[in-house]
Structure 1
């Protein structure tokens, strides 16, 4: 029978035998003491925040269009992995235990896919108001500029941190814009007419999946319905107490 000290020593030896590698998905490095580099490194993590937002929206909103948008995001990432393995171009700076190919830039492709889809959605599909007012034009412009700024900063961060070359980032930008436009066109023209059929499926009813495509202002619709329901229940509660 071995002693506890011998067991601990044996365990440490086994641990050192493993080849430990960092998870490249979230592994971002920046020059020590470079505050701009640190900021850009944090910006590089924004796609993971967007993915988390997608998951939260799908869980709590159950909107079929959001689900299709998320599927497009997953397809965009799969396309990026396929292109990287086909082109097999290395990154500008070799890092320890970071061997993923760099052409095209995954972050750049993701950010421009997301920005392109949102811009198309806001300018073509989303009708917040029933008239073409100045306010509607202003908030649409703000959203478009915000999306473009986000994608530009993410792209620049990958070059600044030497994870990609200009060529790799530009390639990712082009692929992201093209696939974002394609996926929006596919969703808007081909898939949207089938949304009412999809939400009528038994599995969709069980999962409470809904289609809000024909509602021009979902936020206002939910606000007014929640207010009406609250008032109705309040009146009912008062009526029950008075009996």
Structure 2
């Protein structure tokens, strides 16, 4: 490595940060929207964390769909090759094409797929019907709100035009429906066989597709096991 004093001419520096989002100085809403636009990064990190700890096939499939969606976005961008609207402002942006918006496509894929999962995959298993529907409605509304805010942030921060984020949302929504059908009709029947592979057993990869509400199932099983162990511990102490 050359020392600083040995540099004969200035070398251009480039940002390697995936979270580099610019906003107008002193613009508080813009500052907030800059953080909102980082939602795809937070979601990817959350997925990786969830897969490491849960190791569930449907979660892995969901992440796979997000990655396929990103590949489709890259392909469409390089076919259309529509430039960013204000390239002279965001000179450090590492992708020069902007149709459709990758952020918008990612968030609408995630939101629509989650919406379908909540209402078509997870089914009621206890008697709290009203509360069950309430939290699904609230969560769905929250997902759609975040997707809209991320899309809006890309226009507000001058990274995209409205048409670019709208087309991104449309493509992401269509991809979510297609991937959900593919997962339910093609992959889900294969999950029990995949979970039985020696490699899957070694990495503790499991299939929970036959469990209608995994949250309720894990809660009841954990509660029952904790009570059972507590009774055994009480018996030993006596």
Normalised by the length of structure 2, the TM-score is 0.90
Verify: 1:71 aligned to 2:64, yes or no.
Answer: yes
Verify: 1:175 aligned to 2:168, yes or no.
Answer: no
Unaligned 5+ segments in structure 2 are none
Aligned length: 234
Deviations 1:7-66 (A, max 9, x none): 5512xx17943x321236321000011000001101000111111110111011111000
Unaligned 5+ segments in structure 1 are 1-5
Q: Distance in 2 between matches of 1:65 and 1:88?
A: 34
Give RMSD over aligned pairs: 2.1
Aligned ranges for residues 12-91 of structure 1 at < 5 Å? 13=7, 16-17=10-11, 19-23=12-16, 25-91=18-84
Q: Distance in 1 between matches of 2:59 and 2:8?
A: 46
Shift of 1:99: 5.0
Deviations 1:176-210 (A, max 9, x none): 00101110110111111111111011111001011
Map of 2:91 onto structure 1: 96
Map of 1:149 onto structure 2: 145
- Which of 216, 220, 235 does residue 216 from structure 2 map onto? 220
Map of 1:3 onto structure 2: none
Normalised by the length of structure 1, the TM-score is 0.88
Where has structure 1 moved over 6 Å in runs of 4 or more? none
Q: Distance in 2 between matches of 1:183 and 1:61?
A: 21
Shift of 1:113: 0.4
Distance 1:20 1:128, change over 3 A: farther
Residues 129 and 136 in structure 1, CA contact (< 8 A), matched pair in contact too = no
Larger radius of gyration between Structure 1 and Structure 2:
1
More moved, 175-184 vs 92-101: 92-101
